[in-house]
Chains A and B, each alone.
Chain A
């Protein structure tokens, strides 16, 4: 719905997010005669008012000393235990035989370590190659899926771009801004992926942004087809 001042309901989300006072004044004026936006503004202002109350503050006078005790207790368990295993051997009655035992154990550990290292040094080369191949093939699959997704978005973009270039109405301008924001998010995400191709989280982010872009362009075209006032005048 677009009011006589040119304000369109579709602008509401962006204006509430930006929180610019002059735009909020326009929203308030508009919401006087638009029940849908009024509900949205009421929800927005109530959540805004209440959210600061979710910061919970209380005194915990004993908490730091509790943490400190746990830290000290944990180190005490780790360190003296290690020392306790060595000290009786060195200071016991049969020092020489104890030292021999220590030497024998050290030799045995060194020999076992050497054998283990030798065995493992043969294996990793092959398993590293296997892992690399697996990782590469998984990455290639993901990239192929991304390319297919991107191609369908590009098709949509070919239809949408000329329409957005001549946009004059607030609704179309708002769509254009949203798509620009999404494009910058895509560029940033792609930049990070180039530095770390196997980061699954970044891949998920990129997919989410692509999907949002596709959805936005579809909405835009739908608005045009449904003949939504100002949108249609721009799209035709």
Chain B
């Protein structure tokens, strides 16, 4: 489990920046053209993506699962995130962190999938329902309640709670991912927790 404030691993960023951001300066001796071309999955880029997956994959799956409620949908979202990242390498801002960008794409992918689910709800809701494990003990029931309450929150509030409280990201990381200020991230989490407590009291 990630503890509160666990930083997004930084070395993935430095390792990747050499290959991803500086065409022609790859330590692997790959030419810049090969790397900069957005459509090409060069061995070096695959290696870099695999590193990103190894470091962030578990957290990405968990974030997606908390938005989509289904393991197979969460895995699809992670896959789609890497595909989108690969396609848009040229639009990546060099002053941004790769991990921040990765999580931003992941969240957008989850919202796209939720929108698609609303368009054809029967299919996907049944699939999702089939994957939820049944409650094994009292805590499982309470966790399901908490998850339901999270689902009733405004999207940004849910996002900030999942990123900061469940996944243990710091406010500066949450702010960078969500494109908001650190103070607003703190304020949003404060009001979200207050709202959750109020909802929890009503539910019990």
Q: Which residues of A line the B interface, CB within 8 A?
A: 13, 16-17, 39-40, 43-44, 46-47, 50-58, 60, 63-64, 66-68, 70-72, 74-75, 78-79, 181-182, 184-185, 188-189, 192, 201-202, 205, 208-209, 212
Contacting residue for A54 out of B71, B143, B179, B197, CB 8 A: B143
Q: How far is the CA of A43 from the CA of B195 in the complex (A)?
A: 11
Q: Are B183 and A188 within 8 A (Cβ)?
A: yes
Contacting residue for B139 out of A39, A50, A74, CB 8 A: A50
Q: Are A67 and B53 within 8 A (Cβ)?
A: yes
Q: Which of B21-29, B109-117, B119-127, B162-170 contacts A (4 or more CB under 8 A)?
A: B162-170
Contacting residue for A47 out of B1, B61, B200, CB 8 A: B200
Q: Are B183 and A184 within 8 A (Cβ)?
A: yes
Q: A79-B39, A201-B179 are in contact. Are A60 and B2 (CB under 8 A)?
A: no
Is the CB of B97 closer than 8 A to any CB of chain A?
Answer: no
Q: How far is the CA of A51 from the CA of B197 in the complex (A)?
A: 12
Q: Are A50 and B146 within 8 A (Cβ)?
A: yes
Most buried by A among B142, B150, B162, B183: B183
Q: Are A54 and B146 within 8 A (Cβ)?
A: yes
Q: Are B40 and A67 within 8 A (Cβ)?
A: no
Q: How far is the CA of A181 from the CA of B183 in the complex (A)?
A: 8
Q: Cβ of B79: which chain A residues have Cβ within 8 Å of it?
A: 63, 66-67, 70
Contacting residue for A40 out of B58, B62, B166, B201, CB 8 A: B201
Q: Cβ of A47: which chain B residues have Cβ within 8 Å of it?
A: 146, 193, 196-197, 200
Is the CB of B182 closer than 8 A to any CB of chain A?
Answer: yes
Q: Considering only CB atoms and an 8 Å cut-off, how many residues of chain B contact the other chain?
A: 53
In the A-B complex, list the 8 residue pairs whose CB atoms are closest, starting with the nearest. A185-B183, A78-B39, A71-B41, A43-B197, A43-B200, A75-B41, A56-B65, A54-B166
Q: Are B166 and A46 within 8 A (Cβ)?
A: no
Min CB–CB distance B144 → chain A (angstroms): 10
Q: How far is the CA of A64 from the CA of B53 in the complex (A)?
A: 7
Q: List 7 A-B contacts (CB under 8 A).
A: A17-B193, A40-B201, A43-B196, A54-B166, A67-B79, A71-B41, A188-B183
Q: How far is the CA of A50 from the CA of B54 in the complex (A)?
A: 27
Q: A43-B200, A43-B201, A79-B39 are in contact. Are A54 and B66 (CB under 8 A)?
A: yes
Q: Are B182 and A188 within 8 A (Cβ)?
A: yes
Q: Cβ of B150: which chain A residues have Cβ within 8 Å of it?
A: 54
Is the CB of B78 closer than 8 A to any CB of chain A?
Answer: yes
Q: Are B46 and A71 within 8 A (Cβ)?
A: yes
Q: Cβ of A57: which chain B residues have Cβ within 8 Å of it?
A: 58, 61-62
Min CB–CB distance A74 → chain B (angstroms): 7
Q: Are B50 and A68 within 8 A (Cβ)?
A: yes
Q: Cβ of A212: which chain B residues have Cβ within 8 Å of it?
A: 187
Q: Are B146 and A51 within 8 A (Cβ)?
A: yes
Q: Cβ of A184: which chain B residues have Cβ within 8 Å of it?
A: 183
Residue of A with least CB distance to B147: A54
Residue of B with least CB distance to A78: B39
Q: How far is the CA of A79 from the CA of B39 in the complex (A)?
A: 8
Q: Are A17 and B190 within 8 A (Cβ)?
A: yes
Q: Cβ of A188: which chain B residues have Cβ within 8 Å of it?
A: 181-183
Q: How far is the CA of A50 from the CA of B204 in the complex (A)?
A: 15
- 9 additional A-B residue pairs with CB within 8 Å, beyond A56-B62, A72-B46: A13-B190, A13-B194, A40-B201, A46-B200, A57-B58, A60-B75, A67-B79, A185-B183, A192-B181
Q: Cβ of A74: which chain B residues have Cβ within 8 Å of it?
A: 39, 41, 83, 86-87
Contacting residue for B166 out of A13, A55, A70, A209, CB 8 A: A55
Q: Cβ of A209: which chain B residues have Cβ within 8 Å of it?
A: 184, 187
Is the CB of B49 closer than 8 A to any CB of chain A?
Answer: yes
